[in-house]
Amino acid sequence: MSVELSIIVIGLLSFILSGVRVDMAIGVYNVIDYGAAGDGKTDNTKAFEAAWSAACTVEGRTTIVIPEGAYLLGPTIFKGPCKGIMVMEVKGQLLASTHLEAYKENWLDFQYINGLAISGGGRFNGQGASAWPYNQCKKILNCKPLPKTLVFSFVTNATISSISFIDSKFFHIHIFQSRNITFDSIRISAPGDSPNTDGIHIADSTNIQVANSVIGTGDDCISIGSGCTNLTIFNVLCGPGHGFSVGSLGKNAGEKDVIGLKVMKCNLTGTTNGLRIKTWQSSASRLKATDFLFEHVIMNNVYNPIIIDQNYCPNANCPGKDPSLVKITDIKYRNITGTFASLVAYKLLCSVAAPCEGVELSDISLEYSGKDNQAKNATSICVNVYGSSNGNVKPDPCI
């Protein structure tokens, strides 16, 4: 090989190898490179916003890396639309600021994004204990909520997996006007007496799935608001908390129907409620909740395992006493087993103005586990309910 040819070959190899290194670096944005410090004290809000802004302008798949460490953050908005798919690899812990005056509404807000993935084994710490004493929602009907931890607004095609959340000031995760989002292998934890710390709240969204996860909070493990369609909850462990809840529905004018919910192969332990549907009395809107399937659910010492409450009113000063206008139909409870702590296994209190129809209880075996030794007195209550009982149903049903 001539000297000239050798020089050309070496030059080509250097160019190719250099190009490979450059390509590997493209699309990776480490928050450390934007000034973040994982010391648990430095305010990293601007560094995270800068990393997001840079990644959002790049086509293709871009990754924001949050390495090990503790990163203090104030309220932050991760806003799209972005040119590519956004990936957030969270290996460290994110700490919410404890200065309530800094928040307008939420802590971390993802908005207007098509294509998002969050994973990495890290943790979102809402540091809620400092804020819970300021929660006035049990005393004031239209209270101002404390900041939610993670909010998805107008987000499409997202996957959130293998991360954990602890001690949110209010809801841990809130989903609004979004679709095609999957939560897989996540953990949510807050004390059982922490106020309004719902695990996941879903509203006005479609095609949302929560699977293979563990949720224990001071409120609903998963709550579902109006305007939701095609939701799936699969293999979720719930407790402590208030169980899986649809509603409350009908409080505000203009609410939309809830259609299509599947809760399958889930386990509830020590929760106040198991499977609950709740609508406001004197409802401001007329809507329906329909096509629900609760199947293969295990209750472990759940106080109210199956409940429909159309007289819902959590405050002493509710506006009126007129019957709910929310129509509940086609609700199936199948293969529900385990133990319950109250003396009422099925509490189905439906509206006289819009009776529940198509309620099915099939193959249910629930045993009283209370301390009063009154298993023989365990019963069920049905008001304005039409449906059927099939197979072996214990305690005896009232439909």
What pLDDT does 316 receive? 59
What pLDDT does 11 receive? 41
Say how far apart CA 227 and CA 393 lie, in whole Å: 32
Q: Which distant-in-sequence residues (6+ apart) come within 8 Å of 111 by Cβ? A: 77, 78, 79, 80, 153, 154, 155
pTM, entire model? 0.92
Say how far apart CA 388 and CA 128 lie, in whole Å: 44
What pLDDT does 293 receive? 98
Q: In whole angstroms, how far apart are CA 362 and each of 85, 290, 384, 395?
A: 44, 18, 19, 12
Domains of the chain in start order, with CATH, are 3-394 (2.160.20.10)
* Longest CA span, the chain: 99
Name the E strands within 270-355.
Answer: 273-280, 288-302, 304-312, 327-340, 344-349
Q: Six-digit token pair at 265? A: 């192969």
What pLDDT does 285 receive? 85
Secondary structure letter of residue 16 according to DSSP: H
Tell how many helices (H) and how many strands (E) occur in the chain.
Answer: 2, 28
Say how far apart CA 238 and CA 221 lie, in whole Å: 6
What pLDDT does 110 receive? 98
φ and ψ of 390, to 5 deg: -130, 145
Is there a contact between 271 and 298 (Cβ–Cβ < 8 Å)?
no
User: How do the pLDDT tens digits run along the chain, 399 residues long?
Assistant: 444 444 333 343 333 333 333 333 468 999 999 999 999 999 999 999 999 999 999 999 999 999 999 999 999 999 999 999 999 999 999 999 999 999 999 999 999 999 999 999 999 999 999 999 999 887 776 788 999 999 999 999 999 999 999 999 999 999 999 999 999 999 999 999 999 999 999 999 999 999 999 999 999 999 999 999 999 999 999 999 999 999 999 989 999 999 999 999 999 999 999 999 999 988 888 999 999 999 999 999 999 999 999 998 876 566 667 899 999 999 999 999 999 999 999 999 999 999 999 999 999 999 999 876 666 678 899 999 999 999 999 999 999
What pLDDT does 24 receive? 35
What pLDDT does 383 receive? 97
What pLDDT does 23 receive? 33
Task: Write out the catalytic residue numbers.
Answer: 219, 242
Q: Which distant-in-sequence residues (6+ apart) come within 8 Å of 272 by Cβ? A: 241, 242, 243, 302, 303, 304
Q: Six-digit token pair at 271? A: 């929760």
Query: How far out from the chain centre does Cα 226 lie?
Result: 14
Q: In whole angstroms, how far apart are CA 14 and each of 19, 23, 152, 179, 195?
A: 8, 14, 45, 46, 61
